Chains A and B, each alone.
Chain A
Amino acid sequence: KAGVTQTPRYLIKTRGQQVTLSCSPISGHRSVSWYQQTPGQGLQFLFEYFSETQRNKGNFPGRFSGRQFSNSRSEMNVSTLELGDSALYLCASSPDLSGRTGELFFGEGSRLTVL
Protein backbone atom coordinates (compact mmCIF):
# COMPACT_ATOMS: atom_id res chain seq x y z
CA LYS A 1 0.00 0.00 0.00
CA ALA A 2 1.48 3.32 -1.01
CA GLY A 3 2.10 5.83 1.76
CA VAL A 4 1.17 9.48 1.96
CA THR A 5 2.67 11.34 -0.98
CA GLN A 6 3.50 15.01 -0.83
CA THR A 7 4.61 17.17 -3.71
CA PRO A 8 6.80 19.03 -4.23
CA ARG A 9 9.37 17.88 -1.69
CA TYR A 10 11.39 21.08 -1.86
CA LEU A 11 10.60 24.53 -3.13
CA ILE A 12 11.96 28.03 -2.92
CA LYS A 13 9.77 31.11 -3.18
CA THR A 14 10.21 34.80 -2.62
CA ARG A 15 8.26 37.03 -0.28
CA GLY A 16 4.87 38.01 -1.59
CA GLN A 17 4.47 34.99 -3.82
CA GLN A 18 1.98 32.23 -3.22
CA VAL A 19 2.49 28.48 -3.05
CA THR A 20 0.33 25.38 -3.40
CA LEU A 21 1.30 22.09 -1.81
CA SER A 22 -0.29 18.78 -2.67
CA CYS A 23 -0.99 15.67 -0.63
CA SER A 24 -2.26 12.28 -1.71
CA PRO A 25 -3.41 10.21 1.26
CA ILE A 26 -3.18 6.49 1.69
CA SER A 27 -5.82 4.76 -0.38
CA GLY A 28 -9.06 4.52 1.59
CA HIS A 29 -8.16 7.26 4.07
CA ARG A 30 -10.67 10.08 3.99
CA SER A 31 -9.17 12.34 6.62
CA VAL A 32 -6.25 14.59 5.73
CA SER A 33 -4.51 16.91 8.20
CA TRP A 34 -1.80 19.48 7.65
CA TYR A 35 0.91 20.51 10.10
CA GLN A 36 3.63 23.12 9.98
CA GLN A 37 7.00 22.25 11.50
CA THR A 38 9.56 24.94 12.32
CA PRO A 39 12.57 24.95 14.66
CA GLY A 40 11.06 27.76 16.71
CA GLN A 41 7.41 26.79 16.97
CA GLY A 42 7.67 23.02 16.55
CA LEU A 43 4.75 21.11 15.10
CA GLN A 44 1.57 23.11 14.77
CA PHE A 45 -1.79 21.99 13.44
CA LEU A 46 -3.03 23.87 10.40
CA PHE A 47 -6.30 22.19 9.45
CA GLU A 48 -8.05 18.91 8.82
CA TYR A 49 -10.33 17.87 6.01
CA PHE A 50 -12.75 15.01 5.89
CA SER A 51 -14.99 14.22 2.94
CA GLU A 52 -14.14 17.54 1.31
CA THR A 53 -15.13 19.53 4.40
CA GLN A 54 -12.83 21.36 6.74
CA ARG A 55 -13.73 20.08 10.17
CA ASN A 56 -11.01 21.69 12.26
CA LYS A 57 -8.67 24.61 11.90
CA GLY A 58 -5.60 25.74 13.77
CA ASN A 59 -4.57 29.22 14.77
CA PHE A 60 -3.08 30.47 11.52
CA PRO A 61 -3.88 33.60 9.52
CA GLY A 62 -6.26 33.51 6.59
CA ARG A 63 -3.31 33.42 4.19
CA PHE A 64 -3.24 29.71 4.89
CA SER A 65 -6.02 27.78 3.23
CA GLY A 66 -6.72 24.31 2.05
CA ARG A 67 -9.16 22.10 0.30
CA GLN A 68 -9.91 18.47 -0.29
CA PHE A 69 -11.13 16.84 -3.45
CA SER A 70 -13.61 14.03 -3.92
CA ASN A 71 -10.75 11.51 -4.24
CA SER A 72 -9.48 12.66 -0.80
CA ARG A 73 -6.41 14.35 -2.24
CA SER A 74 -5.75 17.64 -0.54
CA GLU A 75 -3.99 20.87 -1.31
CA MET A 76 -2.93 23.70 0.91
CA ASN A 77 -2.19 27.20 -0.27
CA VAL A 78 -0.23 29.99 1.32
CA SER A 79 -0.65 33.42 -0.19
CA THR A 80 1.52 36.51 0.21
CA LEU A 81 4.42 34.51 1.57
CA GLU A 82 6.45 35.85 4.48
CA LEU A 83 9.92 34.84 5.61
CA GLY A 84 8.38 33.19 8.66
CA ASP A 85 6.44 30.78 6.46
CA SER A 86 9.66 28.90 5.78
CA ALA A 87 8.95 25.48 7.23
CA LEU A 88 8.40 21.81 6.65
CA TYR A 89 4.75 21.28 5.83
CA LEU A 90 3.56 17.82 6.75
CA CYS A 91 0.45 16.12 5.54
CA ALA A 92 -1.08 13.22 7.43
CA SER A 93 -3.92 10.91 6.59
CA SER A 94 -5.99 8.81 8.89
CA PRO A 95 -8.32 5.87 8.49
CA ASP A 96 -10.15 6.87 11.62
CA LEU A 97 -13.53 8.41 11.06
CA SER A 98 -14.09 9.53 14.64
CA GLY A 99 -10.81 11.35 14.63
CA ARG A 100 -9.89 10.59 18.20
CA THR A 101 -7.42 7.76 17.89
CA GLY A 102 -4.75 10.08 16.60
CA GLU A 103 -3.29 7.41 14.40
CA LEU A 104 -1.90 9.63 11.71
CA PHE A 105 0.22 8.49 8.79
CA PHE A 106 2.57 11.26 7.74
CA GLY A 107 4.13 12.05 4.43
CA GLU A 108 7.76 13.12 4.15
CA GLY A 109 6.76 16.74 3.91
CA SER A 110 7.25 19.69 1.61
CA ARG A 111 10.11 21.92 2.64
CA LEU A 112 9.35 25.52 1.77
CA THR A 113 12.03 28.18 1.84
CA VAL A 114 10.94 31.80 1.49
CA LEU A 115 13.64 34.28 0.46
Chain B
Amino acid sequence: AQSVTQLGSHVSVSEGALVLLRCNYSSSVPPYLFWYVQYPNQGLQLLLKYTSAATLVKGINGFEAEFKKSETSFHLTKPSAHMSDAAEYFCAVSASGGYNKLIFGAGTRLAVHP
Protein backbone atom coordinates (compact mmCIF):
# COMPACT_ATOMS: atom_id res chain seq x y z
CA ALA B 1 0.00 0.00 0.00
CA GLN B 2 1.11 3.53 -0.69
CA SER B 3 1.24 6.39 1.78
CA VAL B 4 2.68 9.87 2.02
CA THR B 5 3.91 11.78 5.05
CA GLN B 6 4.50 15.50 4.97
CA LEU B 7 6.63 16.77 7.80
CA GLY B 8 5.40 20.07 9.16
CA SER B 9 1.85 21.20 8.73
CA HIS B 10 2.97 24.84 8.75
CA VAL B 11 6.16 26.35 7.41
CA SER B 12 7.00 30.04 7.60
CA VAL B 13 9.81 31.71 5.65
CA SER B 14 10.93 35.21 4.86
CA GLU B 15 10.59 36.58 1.37
CA GLY B 16 13.76 35.67 -0.53
CA ALA B 17 14.60 32.74 1.73
CA LEU B 18 14.89 29.11 0.74
CA VAL B 19 11.68 27.10 0.75
CA LEU B 20 11.95 23.45 1.80
CA LEU B 21 8.82 21.33 2.15
CA ARG B 22 9.38 17.75 3.18
CA CYS B 23 7.68 14.65 1.84
CA ASN B 24 8.37 10.99 2.53
CA TYR B 25 6.57 8.19 0.79
CA SER B 26 5.93 4.52 1.18
CA SER B 27 5.26 2.42 -1.86
CA SER B 28 5.44 -1.26 -2.70
CA VAL B 29 6.05 -0.47 -6.36
CA PRO B 30 8.15 2.17 -8.12
CA PRO B 31 6.23 5.28 -7.27
CA TYR B 32 4.91 8.12 -9.33
CA LEU B 33 5.15 11.20 -7.09
CA PHE B 34 3.60 14.62 -7.37
CA TRP B 35 3.45 18.01 -5.73
CA TYR B 36 0.26 20.01 -6.00
CA VAL B 37 -0.44 23.54 -4.76
CA GLN B 38 -3.74 24.93 -3.56
CA TYR B 39 -4.38 28.65 -3.27
CA PRO B 40 -7.24 29.86 -1.06
CA ASN B 41 -10.68 29.01 -2.39
CA GLN B 42 -9.25 27.25 -5.40
CA GLY B 43 -8.66 23.73 -6.60
CA LEU B 44 -5.30 22.03 -6.80
CA GLN B 45 -2.70 22.77 -9.44
CA LEU B 46 0.09 20.40 -10.44
CA LEU B 47 3.52 21.83 -9.62
CA LEU B 48 5.66 18.93 -10.76
CA LYS B 49 5.77 15.17 -11.07
CA TYR B 50 8.28 12.34 -10.89
CA THR B 51 7.62 9.40 -13.18
CA SER B 52 10.94 7.48 -13.00
CA ALA B 53 12.88 9.60 -15.47
CA ALA B 54 15.26 12.21 -14.05
CA THR B 55 15.48 12.23 -10.26
CA LEU B 56 15.64 16.03 -10.14
CA VAL B 57 12.35 17.38 -11.37
CA LYS B 58 11.73 20.99 -12.25
CA GLY B 59 8.26 22.40 -12.04
CA ILE B 60 6.41 25.64 -12.46
CA ASN B 61 7.06 28.88 -10.57
CA GLY B 62 10.71 27.99 -9.87
CA PHE B 63 9.98 24.91 -7.75
CA GLU B 64 11.89 21.68 -8.01
CA ALA B 65 11.98 18.36 -6.20
CA GLU B 66 14.50 15.57 -5.91
CA PHE B 67 13.53 11.92 -5.77
CA LYS B 68 15.77 10.00 -3.35
CA LYS B 69 14.96 6.32 -3.32
CA SER B 70 17.37 5.52 -0.48
CA GLU B 71 15.62 8.05 1.75
CA THR B 72 12.13 7.46 0.30
CA SER B 73 11.86 11.23 0.02
CA PHE B 74 10.60 13.74 -2.50
CA HIS B 75 11.22 17.13 -0.91
CA LEU B 76 10.09 20.33 -2.63
CA THR B 77 12.41 23.31 -2.80
CA LYS B 78 12.55 26.83 -4.17
CA PRO B 79 15.70 28.94 -3.82
CA SER B 80 13.94 32.23 -3.12
CA ALA B 81 10.44 32.56 -1.71
CA HIS B 82 8.01 35.09 -3.07
CA MET B 83 4.93 36.43 -1.34
CA SER B 84 2.80 34.81 -4.03
CA ASP B 85 4.08 31.36 -2.96
CA ALA B 86 1.91 31.47 0.14
CA ALA B 87 -0.45 28.53 -0.27
CA GLU B 88 -0.99 24.94 0.82
CA TYR B 89 1.20 22.30 -0.75
CA PHE B 90 0.34 18.64 -1.11
CA CYS B 91 2.62 15.74 -1.87
CA ALA B 92 0.92 12.76 -3.50
CA VAL B 93 1.70 9.27 -4.74
CA SER B 94 -0.13 7.39 -7.45
CA ALA B 95 -1.78 4.29 -6.05
CA SER B 96 -0.55 1.11 -7.68
CA GLY B 97 -3.13 -0.07 -10.15
CA GLY B 98 -5.11 2.95 -9.15
CA TYR B 99 -5.50 4.68 -12.44
CA ASN B 100 -5.98 8.34 -11.52
CA LYS B 101 -6.26 7.62 -7.83
CA LEU B 102 -3.81 9.74 -5.88
CA ILE B 103 -2.97 9.34 -2.23
CA PHE B 104 -2.28 12.74 -0.73
CA GLY B 105 -0.29 13.82 2.26
CA ALA B 106 -1.91 16.01 4.87
CA GLY B 107 -0.54 19.16 3.33
CA THR B 108 1.88 21.89 4.39
CA ARG B 109 0.71 25.47 4.64
CA LEU B 110 3.46 27.84 3.56
CA ALA B 111 3.47 31.38 4.90
CA VAL B 112 5.83 33.98 3.43
CA HIS B 113 6.45 37.12 5.40
CA PRO B 114 8.20 40.32 4.30
Contact = CB atoms under 8 A, between A and B. Distances in A.
Interface of A: 4, 31, 33, 42-45, 48, 50, 55-56, 58, 90, 92, 94, 96, 98-109
B101 A45 contact: yes
Contacts of B104: 42-44
A56 B101 contact: yes
Given A43-B90, A101-B49, A31 B101 contact: no
Interface string B92-114: 10110011111111110000000
Contacts of A31: 99-100
Contacts of B103: 45
Interface of B: 32, 34, 36, 41-46, 49, 51, 90, 92, 94-95, 98-107
Contact of B102 (A96, A104, A109): A104
B46 to A, nearest CB: 6
Given A48-B99, A56-B101, A103 B107 contact: no
A103 B49 CA distance: 8
A82 B109 CA distance: 28
Q: Which 3 A-B pairs have the closest CB atoms?
A: A99-B99, A106-B43, A43-B104
27 contacts: A42-B107, A43-B44, A43-B90, A43-B102, A45-B98, A45-B101, A48-B101, A50-B99, A56-B101, A90-B44, A92-B100, A94-B100, A99-B101, A100-B51, A101-B32, A101-B94, A102-B34, A102-B102, A103-B46, A104-B100, A104-B102, A105-B46, A106-B43, A106-B44, A107-B43, A108-B43, A109-B42
Nearest to B92: A102
B90 A99 contact: no
B43 A102 contact: no
Contacts of B94: 100-102
A24 to B, nearest CB: 13
Nearest to A93: B100
Contacts of B49: 101-103
